[in-house]
Amino acid sequence: MSEKKVMLSGIQPSGDLHLGNYLGAIKNWSARADEFDCYYFMADMHTITVRQNPADLRRRTLEQLAQYIACGLDPEKNTLFIQSHVHQHAELGWVLNCYTMFGELSRMTQFKDKSAKHTDNINGGLFTYPALMAADILLYQPDFVPVGNDQKQHVEITRDVAQRFNNIYGDVFKLPEPYIPKTGARIMGLSNPDSKMSKSMPEGCVFLMEKPEDIQRKFKRAITDSDTENCVRYDPEHKPGVANLMSIYSAVTGKSFEEIEREFEGCGYGKFKPAVGDAVVETLRPIREEATRILADKAYLESVYHQGAEKASYVANKTLRKVYKKIGFVAR
């Protein structure tokens, strides 16, 4: 294996990719391939903790792959794969289930949120989700897991489970660090700046493949604040909508909050909101065009995920064999 540090992350193809996924995670993945050994996957096994339409799931998994590549993840340099193609995830997932505590799982925010939202389907998979996620991560012995803020808790439980396992069996797993961007780690909904941007609130959510005019419309309608100040100033406590727009603008342009305040001094929200919309449209335009082009080439996509699964399985298998040996399973 190479001496490079390892980076790994995944996204559930349970909805179309949105600006939160891009700024919180994917943007941090691209352009790292020279520095790190990178593994990125479509977390399709996780999506079925909530009911999915099979045809949509299949379509979105491939679209997500095309979008990963369009976001700058060169498949020659990054290992891109579909989680369910690498059976070691399910196998290590089961093992780690037995090393993850009921109490720990009960504290997970994502479980609490999702079980409140899907009261008719609070299944075992939803509860033990973090054990599978720990397996996703630990199989590849990564140094860093680039995720948005909402996934930090899951990376932390992964470290706890890995540590528990290592305490019993010796140094089997490397303890990974969450790698969270300075700006963009928690993008809020444009129509609801008090909750994170998510596909479940489509009016406040900007999708990567959305048409420029729709993106602009969403930004023009973005909630700013209820005071009459009409001034672009970073104050997340009193002006969460404006702070969110500033974070988005900062993440796509690289400008600091001070620079943004100066740029829009005396302009009011009427000028600021469309300017953020424009910056986002221009960031997403090449991604949308490239993803559309790649998606049309099914044979290419197939070759990418075949090759990705092969590379990923090789690495994952090494870790799984070691784990099976340590816990006392007889080798085949």
Applying CB under 6 A, among 43, 108, 157, 232 the residue interacting with ligand TYM is: 43
Is there a contact between 112 and 11 (Cβ–Cβ < 8 Å)? no
**Contact status: 66 vs ligand TYM (CB under 6 A):** no
Q: Which residue is nearest to ligand TYM (CB)?
A: 24
**Contact status: 187 vs ligand TYM (CB under 6 A):** yes
What part of residues 259-298 is at the interface with ligand TYM (CB under 6 A)?
none
SS3 8: strand
Element (H, E) at 178: strand 177-179
Q: How many CB atoms lie within 10 A of CB 45?
A: 23
Q: How many CB atoms lie within 10 A of CB 257?
A: 16
CB of 230 to ligand TYM, least distance (A): 26
Which of these segments, 131-139, 159-167, 207-215, 254-262, binds ligand TYM (CB under 6 A)? Answer: 131-139
CB of 215 to ligand TYM, least distance (A): 16
Sequence-separated (6 or more) residues with CB below 8 Å from residue 46: 10, 12, 14, 83, 129, 132, 133
CB of 25 to ligand TYM, least distance (A): 4
Is there a contact between 184 and 231 (Cβ–Cβ < 8 Å)? no
Which of these segments, 18-26, 32-40, 72-80, 273-281, binds ligand TYM (CB under 6 A)? Answer: 18-26
Q: Looking at beta carbons only, is 47 or 231 nearer to ligand TYM?
A: 47
Q: Looking at beta carbons only, is 231 or 279 nearer to ligand TYM?
A: 279
- 311 is known as an active-site residue: no
**Contact status: 186 vs ligand TYM (CB under 6 A):** yes
Applying CB under 6 A, among 44, 63, 136, 210 the residue interacting with ligand TYM is: 136
Which tokens sit at 30?
Answer: 């691209």
**Contact status: 193 vs ligand TYM (CB under 6 A):** no
**Contact status: 25 vs ligand TYM (CB under 6 A):** yes
Q: Looking at beta carbons only, is 25 or 86 nearer to ligand TYM?
A: 25
- 114 is known as an active-site residue: yes
**Contact status: 92 vs ligand TYM (CB under 6 A):** no
Applying CB under 6 A, among 196, 218, 239, 273 the residue interacting with ligand TYM is: 196
Is there a contact between 120 and 158 (Cβ–Cβ < 8 Å)? no
How far is residue 112's CA from residue 108's CA, in Å, rounded to a whole number? 6
How far is residue 95's CA from residue 100's CA, in Å, rounded to a whole number? 9
| Cα 168-172-175 angle, rounded to 5 deg | 100
Which of these segments, 185-193, 221-229, 286-294, 317-325, binds ligand TYM (CB under 6 A)? Answer: 185-193
- 199 is known as an active-site residue: yes
Which of these segments, 8-16, 29-37, 224-232, 269-277, binds ligand TYM (CB under 6 A)? Answer: 8-16
Residue 113 CA from chain centroid, whole number: 17
**Contact status: 176 vs ligand TYM (CB under 6 A):** no
Q: Is the dihedral of CA 94, 95, 98, 100 positive or negative?
A: negative
Give alpha helix (H) positions in the chain.
Answer: 19-21, 27-29, 44-47, 54-70, 88-97, 102-106, 109-117, 124-138, 152-169, 212-220, 240-253, 257-263, 269-295, 298-327
Q: Is the dihedral of CA 311, 1, 40, 326 positive or negative?
A: positive
Instruction: Please report, as ranges, the residues that interact with ligand TYM according to CB under 6 A.
Output: 9-12, 20-21, 23-25, 43, 46, 133, 136-137, 145, 147-148, 150-151, 154, 185-187, 196-197
Catalytic (active-site) positions: 114, 196, 199
